[in-house]
Structure 1
Amino acid sequence: MALSLVHFPSEVWNHIFQYLSAADKFSVRASCRYFRKLIDHWSLWKNWTIVLSFKNGPYNSEFWDSLRRRKVSSVVMRNTKTKDWSRLSLALPTLTTVIMDQNSNGNLNFIQDFSHLNRLAIRSSAVLLDLHTQTQLQHLTHLSMCNVLFPNKSNWSFLNLLPFLSSLTSVVCHNTNSFGQRDRMVDTLVSILPKLKHLSLSAKYISPQRDGSIFKPVTSLSSLELIDCLDHSSPEDVGQMISGLKCLRVFFKHSHQGRPEALSASVIYLKTWLSESAQLSNLTVVKGPPVRMYATSIPATITNLTLCVSGLSPRDMAAVAQQVPDLLHLHIDAWPSHLGAHTARIPELFPKLRSLKLRQDHVPEKDFLRLQQLQDLECLEILDRGHWSDLYKKLQTLTRNRLRVVTSSPQRDAFHCPCVSQVY
């Protein structure tokens, strides 16, 4: 490499490297010792998560040194043993996020070695709880559990721990045996966790009321996710507890296209929840009934809308547009069907959009280019990652380069549960 290039100011190289993907950074890092030092600058690795597995033995000191230079704060630990956690705590004691993945019959004693830890995710693991667990979890603000088994030999249950987790602002619980069949978990969690703002639960944990009691309104929650909703497992009464919600995401287990027997209950539940959420600004619906069956219940306060619903028709889009005149952000995915030429109607239906996510496949060029009419559009993300670079450049030219077109998958926060990552 020419000496004149090598001796560019480090700030110049740092600015250039910011445009590289993680894979490209590693390639540049391997090219020479000078770049290896520059690439490891912490500013280039913000919000980056490393996946560690000790199946081939411990990592060397040079590896840990590079992670410390990058100020890595988030780690996925996969198939690890107790001694591996000890090595991690010695090497990276300032971690703030840990994702424990695919561990069997482990405990959470390792948490005591990470005094800065505030986000913990446990996935596809079996975890033993004991008396010491309560003190180790007290400082957590985010807890995520997916496919977690708490063996019966545990002396404590997850519900026993809840009173000690008063700092939690976000709880995710998908497909675990944490709760009993009759537990009303939204009620229980919010009453015990005073700071809770975001809650994501499998719908099977939302039990219908059986004793005739009335749900107390839940005013602290601002974000609620319900996954794997079925027509028989999604109680209408949830709406009475979430009147203050700003964000609601509903993930149905199935698409109800062609399943009339499932439509009635699902439509009733969804319409009730929407009508009870007068402050809602962010709505996501994945699968479930046809959009036109609940479109009239969508609040006019919605500014951010995600619809991942197969068979999305022009009639559906028109019905939604009438309800949300101030929509700013739209993520629309009709896969395995497609919008096709109907994409051209988006500027007419949603004229105030600032960001748009959609699939480009099966959209004629002339209809795709009609998106230039969205005068406030700043970002267009192509979900099917097409290779139509000339078409995208043409659209950008028509907008005088005001529009940014994203065709690569954005970096996803590893802490987000895979169950819902499709909408992040």
Structure 2
Amino acid sequence: MANLLHHLPADVLLHVFTYLPAADKFNVRVCCKYFDQLVSHRSLWEDYTACFSFKNGRYNPQFWTSLARRGLKRAVVLGGLKEKHWIQLASTLPSLSTLVVDNGIEECARHLNKFPKLRSLALRANNTRNAFTVIKCLTVVDPELMTCISLCNVDFLSPEHFLAFLSQFTNLTSLEYHSAGDIRNQVQMFHCIISGLPKLKHFSWAMNNYSKYVSVPEKGLGEPADCFSNQTLTSLELVVYDDSCLSNDTMRSLTRLQSLTVVYMGSQGHRLKTWLSHVPQLSTLVIKGGPPSREYGGSIPAKVTSLTMRVNQLTSADLAVIASKVQGLLHLHLEPWPSDCHTGMIFKLFPNLKSIKLRIWQIGEKNFLDLHRFRSMQRIEVMDDSPRIAEISRQLQTLNDKIRILTSSGPRDPWACYHH
């Protein structure tokens, strides 16, 4: 077969290889030297992320040569790298535009200036780190080039300290800040970030242990409304959120919000219903924990096409209310699955559904296999970690070969912050 493919033009083979996942590309590379050269073409690896871990020693020269040919622009560094490793990484991949450092921030600070094209930087600490090291890291990058910053388990001394640090990054389009400590006046920080970064489109914020310090009044903080205006933010994540953190009017100024994720700290909350009424353009909604869905289900905006609800006490009656509001829903993720709801009922409520995320053990194998009857279904993501998943999935695809079945079990995503 390989000999026959040699007669095809290189550009045709390259086009075919674009449809292969990374694992299959690696398999093709070992077929012969010709395929190795073709599959190493830079156009095939533009979105690939290389993960580096030097636990078993250094990588061999052939590995670095292969990386250089592919011209990778995204890398995740797992664990602390020694100076010689950073030097090798920088000399092989000088064009890195995205770098994730998962532990080892101190070493990173000394070598970050070796990546002049850096646009996105994520710093993860498995133990809380003082912001001094982070600031040291980012003083060597060009603040005008940086568009994405993500900080996990990094603590600033005060709101003023944090805001002064951020003010230089005026071109940021994405910011994640998940602190592990207790910073007072986080509400003030939240609003100043929203209004102070004019190009910000995505903001993920963790407000840990905040509620024991202050409670926000129903009418908000009393500052002028235009102080908090933002016309660019389209995605907001509130992680480890306590309902006393923000006011009922928080979403009123976020007129273009299209995606909202709220991961509650507990089961209490009464602002979500009001928030949802203020974001009519919302298309993606993710709720984890918090109040019963019956308190806000009837307020979910009609334009929502992707809905994730990881909440307790969800019933078929609650889903019926939600279905009446989001008749164009395309993606659904429920966990736990409502005990009084079978898959047939789901597709009566949401007839346009194209993808669903679930655990087979919660709905039963029979209900899972019944999914083959729904012709609009294109993708099913299974979260179970069981040896039977492969067999059950094969049975379903025998009944309907148009459905793609994905599994989401596996190691932690190295891009994800520890709070996720």
- Alignment of 1:290 with 2:302, yes or no, is no
Pairing of 1:237-316 with structure 2 (within 5 A): 237-254=249-266, 256=267, 263=268, 266=269, 268-316=270-318
Q: Normalized against structure 1, the TM-score is what?
A: 0.80
- Mean CA deviation greater in 142-151 or 6-15: 6-15
Give the counterpart letter for 2:233 in structure 1.
Answer: L
Match of 2:164 among 160, 167, 171: 160
Unaligned runs of 5+ in 1: 257-262
2:360 partner SS: coil
Assess if the C-alpha contact under 8 Å between 1:158 and 1:178 holds in 2.
Answer: no
For 1:103 and 1:338, the matched residues in 2 are separated by: 43
For 2:42 and 2:49, the matched residues in 1 are separated by: 13
For 2:316 and 2:153, the matched residues in 1 are separated by: 38
Pairing of 1:20-419 with structure 2 (within 5 A): 22=23, 26=26, 36-37=36-37, 39-42=39-42, 44-54=44-54, 58-77=58-77, 78-105=79-106, 108=109, 110-124=111-125, 125-126=129-130, 127-129=133-135, 133=139, 136-149=142-155, 157-175=161-179, 180-182=184-186, 184-204=188-208, 208=216, 212-216=222-226, 217-254=229-266, 256=267, 263=268, 266=269, 268-334=270-336, 339=339, 342-384=342-384, 387-389=388-390, 391-399=392-400, 401-407=401-407, 414-419=414-419
Task: String of CA shifts for 1:318-357, please: whole Å, max 9, x gaps.
Answer: 22112211111212221xx665862221110100112222
Superposition CA RMSD, Å: 3.6
- Mean CA deviation greater in 128-137 or 47-56: 128-137
For 2:59 and 2:157, the matched residues in 1 are separated by: 32
1:307 partner SS: strand
Task: String of CA shifts for 1:48-80, please: whole Å, max 9, x gaps.
Answer: 222224466554432211112222211122312
- Mean CA deviation greater in 12-21 or 277-286: 12-21
Task: String of CA shifts for 1:192-247, please: whole Å, max 9, x gaps.
Answer: 21100110001347973785324433322111000001244344342233233111
1:191 partner SS: helix
Cα deviation for residue 177 of structure 1 reads 6.0
Distance 1:123 1:166, change over 3 A: same
Question: Aligned residues: percent identity?
Answer: 35
For 2:13 and 2:340, the matched residues in 1 are separated by: 44
For 2:55 and 2:368, the matched residues in 1 are separated by: 49
- Mean CA deviation greater in 235-244 or 86-95: 235-244
For 1:163 and 1:32, the matched residues in 2 are separated by: 52
Q: Normalized against structure 2, the TM-score is what?
A: 0.81
Distance 1:299 1:201, change over 3 A: same
Cα deviation for residue 311 of structure 1 reads 3.9
Distance 1:138 1:413, change over 3 A: farther
Give the counterpart letter for 2:255 in structure 1.
Answer: S
For 2:188 and 2:60, the matched residues in 1 are separated by: 48
- Mean CA deviation greater in 369-378 or 34-43: 34-43
For 2:345 and 2:181, the matched residues in 1 are separated by: 46
For 1:19 and 1:282, the matched residues in 2 are separated by: 29
- Mean CA deviation greater in 116-125 or 126-135: 126-135
Give the counterpart letter for 1:328 in structure 2.
Answer: L
For 2:140 and 2:39, the matched residues in 1 are separated by: 40
For 2:138 and 2:74, the matched residues in 1 are separated by: 24
Residue of structure 2 in register with 1:259 after alignment: none
Distance 1:136 1:85, change over 3 A: farther
For 1:321 and 1:219, the matched residues in 2 are separated by: 30
Cα deviation for residue 36 of structure 1 reads 4.8
Distance 1:396 1:51, change over 3 A: closer
Assess if the C-alpha contact under 8 Å between 1:134 and 1:164 holds in 2.
Answer: no
Distance 1:107 1:43, change over 3 A: closer
Unaligned runs of 5+ in 2: none
Cα deviation for residue 285 of structure 1 reads 0.4
1:315 partner SS: helix
Assess if the C-alpha contact under 8 Å between 1:340 and 1:362 holds in 2.
Answer: no
Give the counterpart letter for 1:327 in structure 2.
Answer: L
For 1:304 and 1:413, the matched residues in 2 are separated by: 21
Distance 1:246 1:211, change over 3 A: closer
Distance 1:17 1:248, change over 3 A: closer
Assess if the C-alpha contact under 8 Å between 1:226 and 1:250 holds in 2.
Answer: yes
For 2:330 and 2:342, the matched residues in 1 are separated by: 19
For 1:333 and 1:358, the matched residues in 2 are separated by: 7
Cα deviation for residue 302 of structure 1 reads 1.0
Task: String of CA shifts for 1:99-138, please: whole Å, max 9, x gaps.
Answer: 1121254564533322221110000055252598175332
Distance 1:388 1:129, change over 3 A: closer
For 1:161 and 1:318, the matched residues in 2 are separated by: 47
Count of aligned residue pairs for this structure pair = 402
